């Protein structure tokens, strides 16, 4: 459970702090070039899930569905972390996913939408705008894949 304090909480604080700074200092859809033609801070809000999935669902259903999904994921991740044998690559991955799921759930609870602001692009090509929580989830999933590839098979 120490991994929650050492990994999940700092990532969650960073996620919420960056979202607060962006949403309080920028206008919606305002963009600031960090590396021109590559990286921008662009303030947006996403009422759906990753890649704006589920945005066409009725608002009340979408909100309840995504909040319920996040709550189930958070409970499962806490149980998996509690049952783990110390700090492993998989436990680190679970802690990152826990932070990301919690950060986006907090946004949904406070704002009804998730604040996104990191924009990667190359001239007209754009990757979907994301946030620190999304990055934590993505890195966590990548670590789980890496861990499963490295783990010896058990009969």
For residue 155, tell me if it sits in a domain: no
Q: What is the pLDDT of residues 81-120, one digit of tens each?
A: 999 988 899 999 999 999 999 999 999 999 989 999 999 9
pTM: 0.89
Range of the domain at 70: 2-31+38-50+57-150
Number of structural domains (the chain) is: 1
Q: CA 39, CA 60: separation in Å to the nearest integer?
A: 34
Q: Decide if pLDDT at 155 tops 50.
A: no
**From 15, 40, 107, 116, the catalytic residue:** 116
Does the annotation count 40 as an active-site position? no
- On whether the CB atoms of residues 103 and 132 are closer than 8 A, the answer is yes
Q: Which residues have a Cβ under 8 Å from the Cβ of 29 and sit 6 or more positions away?
A: 42, 43, 44
**From 40, 85, 134, 155, the catalytic residue:** 134
For residue 7, tell me if it sits in a domain: yes
Does the annotation count 15 as an active-site position? no
For residue 122, tell me if it sits in a domain: yes
Between helix 9-25 and helix 89-111 the angle, nearest 10°, is 30
For residue 46, tell me if it sits in a domain: yes
Q: What is the pLDDT of residues 28-77, one digit of tens each?
A: 999 999 999 999 999 999 887 766 666 676 667 777 888 888 999 999 99
């Amino acid at each position: 459970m120490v991994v929650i304090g050492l990994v999940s909480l700092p990532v969650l604080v960073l996620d919420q702090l960056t979202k607060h700074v962006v949403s309080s200092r920028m206008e919606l859809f305002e963009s600031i070039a960090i590396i021109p033609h590559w990286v921008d801070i662009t303030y947006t809000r996403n009422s759906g899930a990753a890649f704006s999935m589920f945005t066409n669902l009725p608002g009340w259903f979408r909100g309840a569905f995504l909040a319920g999904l996040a709550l189930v994921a958070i409970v499962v991740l806490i149980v998996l972390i509690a049952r783990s044998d110390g700090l492993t690559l998989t436990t680190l991955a679970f802690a990152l996913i826990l932070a990301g799921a919690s950060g986006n759930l907090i946004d949904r609870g406070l704002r009804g939408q998730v604040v996104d602001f990191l924009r990667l692009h190359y001239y007209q090509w754009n990757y979907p705008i994301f946030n620190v929580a999304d990055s934590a989830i993505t890195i966590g999933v990548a670590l789980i894949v890496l861990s499963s590839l490295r783990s010896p098979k058990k009969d």
